Amino acid sequence: MENLKGKTALVTGASRGIGGAIAQRFVDEGANVIMPSRNEMDLADVASVAQYVQAHANVPLDILVNNAAINPMTPLDEITPELLKAFEEVMTVNLESPFLLSIGFAPGMIERGGGSIINIASLWGILGRGNRALYSMSKHGLIGMTESLAQLLGPQKIRVNAVSPGFVGTDMTYQNLRPNQIEDIKQGTPLGELVPVGHIANAVLWLASAESGYITGQNIVVDGGWSNVGRIAPPK
């Protein structure tokens, strides 16, 4: 299949994990895929993002996937320099940089008649999570940004959507969850396993392709049913 033949896509955080799978899927579908490394564009540094956008203003971008994010485990019990630093870094990488990339590349997309922006959000963008408050706040913001930009850019034929993965077996998940927690998640998921990364790539591919041409402002949850009909492990 060559669903994206002739299209140019930029995927952030494509060095590994979900971003790597999305980029590979796009290549398999015939797209020209740009995967800026952290050295080329540091998403924790808005000056670096602005500079990257300026230097690539002539790239004929059709698809932007804001995938990269961080999810640090920061103590939330008092105001410390560490907390302030983590707040700023999470909001910059997870929310501000996706916003700057979206509005930075939108004019070029408009010139070519439209495009598709896909933001990788999270279950923690629709549900709160106490000990991951910074991450959850940033992802709720990303979904708000998705809806707002969908309204703003729809008239210029840029569609803006989000994909919210459940628990995917990437570095982020294995760093943050203990084996017994991962087992509980599998037990509490109707489809019975962590989300296969290829299924996130499938949803993103669909939102990037013409087949989803009348879909905008949506958040597609890909979690095997955990968030709406799961969570409680079936009796053994």
Ligand X SMILES: NC(=O)c1ccc[n+]([C@@H]2O[C@H](COP(=O)([O-])OP(=O)(O)OC[C@H]3O[C@@H](n4cnc5c(N)ncnc54)[C@H](OP(=O)(O)O)[C@@H]3O)[C@@H](O)[C@H]2O)c1
Report the catalytic residues: 135
Q: Closest approach of Cβ 135 to ligand X, in Å?
A: 7
Cα 228 versus chain centre, distance: 20
Q: Which of the residues 142 through 201 are near ligand X (CB under 6 A)?
A: 165, 167-168, 170-173
CA-wise closest residue to 89 among 132, 45, 122, 127 = 45
Q: List the x/- string, 83-122, binding to ligand X by CB under 6 A.
A: ----------x--------------------------x-x
User: Total residues at the site for ligand X (CB under 6 A)?
Assistant: 24
Residue with tokens 């017994």: 180
Please answer whether residues 198 and 21 qualify as being in contact, where contact means their C-beta atoms are separated by less than 8 angstroms.
yes
C-alpha distances out from residue 202 to 79, 96, 197, 205, 208, Å: 41, 26, 9, 5, 10
Q: Which tokens belong to 20?
A: 């790597």
Is 35 near ligand X (CB under 6 A)? Answer: no
C-alpha distances out from residue 223 to 49, 103, 104, 155, 169, Å: 31, 29, 31, 31, 12
Task: Identify the residue among 25, 33, 42, 134 touching ligand X (CB under 6 A).
Answer: 42
Is 109 or 120 the residue whose CB approaches ligand X more closely?
120
Is 209 near ligand X (CB under 6 A)? Answer: no
- How many residues are present in the chain? 236
Task: Identify the residue among 7, 53, 67, 159 touching ligand X (CB under 6 A).
Answer: 67
Is 76 near ligand X (CB under 6 A)? Answer: no
Give contact residues for ligand X (rule: CB under 6 A).
Answer: 13, 15-19, 38, 42-44, 67-70, 93, 120, 122, 165, 167-168, 170-173
